[in-house]
Chains A and B, each alone.
Chain A
Amino acid sequence: MRIALFVTCLADTLYPSVGRATVTLLERLGHQVEFPQGQTCCGQMHINTGYQKHALPLVRRYADTFEHCDVIVAPSGSCVGSVRHQHPMVARAFGDERLAQRAEAAGRATFELSQLLVDVLGVDDVGAYYPHRVTYHPTCHSLRMLRVGDRPLRLLRRVEGLDLVELPDAEVCCGFGGTFALKNSDTSTAMLADKMRRVLDTRAEVCSASDSSCLMHIGGGLSRLRTGVKTVHLAEILAATRAGT
């Protein structure tokens, strides 16, 4: 299958290993990955901060870049949530019904990684090897906007060598929330502290998730406290093999 990668601006700029892992994984499963060069950012930060006017050109850019692709994958639940749910809303807020419909079509073709693997490609054993104790934070937008359910856990359970430990209160937000972490940094930090406590309670070496932004937040806290626990994106775990990646 030809699959277009929407790498997301955060992974592109700060976490390129997540994008590389997504490519490695999909190619190993026998698919052809393309990377449309016109892509930039989904505009979620603008929309969630109230700057919809500045998000409008990004909504248009996403539709322009991806509307000819049959299947699009992004290693981020919140970016996919924005593409699917917010893009048509922003287009309509500015009275552009044609763009709203193009955005809806592009949104329908866009999948979060675990949804693509399980629902579209029909695999839950991707042939990965990752000999570590791992706990998984399901992330709010994957859980409640996209309803990915237990798909990431089904994928992780099939990874050879991986010791999956359940994260207590997993469904509670880590406190990132985009500019929430800046505008309400104290409340965000209090939420982060509780999330870190849960992660540390599991005695996992690795906390994983399907969103680099939530992982940047949780990982930033775990690193500041020198806990030794690291954050690794789901794509990187699924891309790992005995032979190395």
Chain B
Amino acid sequence: MTTYLGMPTAPKGVGHLRAAEPFPVAARRALADTQLRRNLAIATGTIRAKRAAVVAELPDWEELRSAGQAAKAGAMRHLDRYLEQLETQVTARGGTVHWASDAVAANRIVTDLVAATGSREVVKVKSMVTDEIGLNEALAAAGITAHETDLAELIVQLGHDRPSHILVPAIHRNRAEIREIFLREMADADQALTDEPAALAEAARLYLRRRFLAARVGISGANFAIAQTGTLCVVESEGNGRMCLTLPDTLITVMGIEKVLPSWPDLAVFLQLLPRSSTGERMNPYTSMWTGVTPGDGPQQFHLVLLDNGRTAALADETGRQALHCIRCSACLNVCPVYERVGGHAYGSVYPGPIGAVLSPQLTGVEENASLPYASSLCGACYEACPVKIDIPSVLVHLRARHVGEARRERRLPRAEAIAMAAASWVMTEPRRYSAAQRSGRLGRPLGRRGRIGQLPPPLAAWARARDSPVPPAQTFRQWWRDEHGRSS
């Protein structure tokens, strides 16, 4: 097996990529949260149905998926070239490009840029990557307040909470909870505020409008960047992004290096794939694009921060690198039976769900997130929904093998599991040993009562907590065959 050494991964102590506790522990707590279970079932069920309807409209959906997959693979193959082309084009049009090897470097660059403007407040477009690096906390440490302006991100920020979904960060909250958060955190909120969605949205509009008009610095991520012309692109639903991208004097965009596309025809594919996969819409309401700066129109200072933070390490893994193709649509979260039951917080990373289970461990190093590749029953619903055909189950299986390989080298494999696996392999490699093991397995027969076994010793005890087990039969198939058909075949 290949080993993966040398490429730096995302540093510890900054950002939100690492789980504080193993997935099964966090999941157990989430499973007991009745409100969370109900919110998630309703919300994911609604988005699933919307997505299925708009995807079914397109006769060439599978071809579009293949085109998206090919465009991303092509961009990754020559990532060095496209990133330098992007830098040249952005610079030529009056922007400034900064290269950040990791979260620490990116946070420092952005903090210095904001400090240089003299502003103590920034407005933010919803962005996964700034959450990945913990930018808001870094800004706060420098005395700068970041205002989230996406409605759901605002709910999360005001609720002193963590996002639990890529697209719908407050999916774990219902409208009664949101009303309580607004009344508690918005100083001038109308005390007669109801939990009608329109009323809640209006309260947020009034609150945010003052921030938009006062802001001198905007911070965004990017959905896509086009190397050919140096154009950045953000797609969104609420118009808050358009406000942040056009009103302030200074715009700072932080972008993972995997977001670059070679040319405009590539973008055409993704603008069809993304809205249908994410919100279940034919087209998203706002698509903003900008190229450098335009004198007298929009921000007059534009900075682009290109972030690695473990992405080159992921790119070095032939099987795992396809996780970098992700366009953050969250279709895989919405169809995942595990995500639907435990929610996003259990994954402990800003990237939850199936894509998070393959992306986070690659960004941090597998051993830093070793429980995530196992947070899946490998049912394959994610692969089927992915608009760029990321084979998530195969990457999960691959990362499990990487984990076992690395843990074995460091002698950290669970002893019982390692012994059981080695023993099973030894037995199964040789049919005679296998037959003998089957015979000894029948020693379990006296455990059975009325055709079922209720309790089992570790490590099978976890199974037996909720499931009966079959009683080993008096005769294996192999024995029956020999009795019936002789030893002929």
Say which residue of B27, B378, B379 sits within 8 Å of A186 (CB atoms): B27
**Is B466 an interface position by the 8 A CB rule?**
yes
Contact of A13 among B338, B394, B441 (CB under 8 A): B441
A180 touches B477 (CB 8 A): no
CA distance A219 to B468 in the complex (A): 8
Mask of B440-465 contacts with A, CB within 8 angstroms, 1/0? 01000000000010100001101101
Which of B80-88, B122-130, B214-222, B427-435 touches A? Answer: B427-435
Question: Residue A216 at the B interface, CB < 8 A?
Answer: yes
Instruction: Check B374 against A180 for contact (C-beta < 8 Å).
Output: yes
Q: Is A118 an interface residue (CB 8 A)?
A: no
Interface string of B386-404 (1 = CB under 8 A from A): 0000000010010011111
> CB of B417 within 8 A of chain A?
yes
A14-B470, A48-B378, A216-B470 given; 5 more Cβ-contact pairs under 8 Å: A13-B476, A16-B475, A49-B400, A223-B467, A224-B466
Q: Chain B: which residue is nearest A181 at the CB level?
A: B463
**Residue on B with the closest CB to A141?**
B380
Write out, one digit per residue, whether chain B residues 13-49 have a CB within 8 A of any chain A CB (1) or not (0).
0000000000110011001000000000000000000
A172 to B377, CA, bound (A): 11
* Proximity string of chain A (140-183) to chain B, C-beta cutoff 8 Å, 1 when within and 0 when not: 11011100000000000000000000000001110111111111
Instruction: Check B480–A217 contact: CB distance below 8 A.
Output: no
Question: Would you list which residues of chain A between 33 and 66 have a CB under 8 Å from chain B?
Answer: 34-41, 43, 45-55, 57-58, 61
Specify which of A58, A144, A220 is in contact with B380 (CB 8 Å cutoff): A144
Q: How many A-B residue pairs have CB under 8 A?
A: 200
Segment of B135-143, B229-237, B418-426 engaged in the interface with chain A: B418-426
Q: How far is the CB of B366 from chain A (nearest CB, A)?
A: 10
Number of interface residues of A (CB under 8 A): 73
Can you list the 7 inter-chain pairs with the closest CB atoms, starting with the nearest? A177-B377, A220-B467, A50-B400, A54-B425, A50-B404, A173-B379, A144-B380
- Please report whether the interface of chain A is mostly helix, strand, loop or mixed according to DSSP: helix
A46 touches B424 (CB 8 A): yes
Cross-chain contact B404 with A51 (CB below 8 angstroms): yes
**Contacts of B338 on A, CB cut-off 8 Å?**
184, 187, 191
The yes or no answer to A9 lying at the interface (CB within 8 A) is yes
B346 to chain A, nearest CB (A): 9
For residue B378, which residues in chain A have a CB less than 8 angstroms away from its CB?
48, 140, 177-178, 180
Bound-complex Cα distance A7 to B438 (A): 14
Check if A57 sits within 8 Å of B429, measured CB to CB: yes
Indicate if the CB atoms of A180 and B438 lie closer than 8 Å: no
Instruction: Let me know if B376 is at the binding interface, CB within 8 A.
Output: yes
Cβ–Cβ < 8 Å partners of A16 in chain B: 473, 475-477, 480
Contact B466 A48 (CB under 8 A): no
B266-285 to A contact mask, C-beta < 8 Å, 1/0: 00000000000000000000
A189 to B467, CA, bound (A): 9
Bound complex: CA A223 to CA B477 (Å): 23
Establish whether residues B394 and A89, one from each chain, have CB atoms under 8 Å apart when the complex forms: yes
Asked whether, in the complex, the Cβ of A140 is within 8 Å of the Cβ of B380, the reply is yes
Is B1 engaged at the interface, CB distance under 8 Å to the other chain?
yes
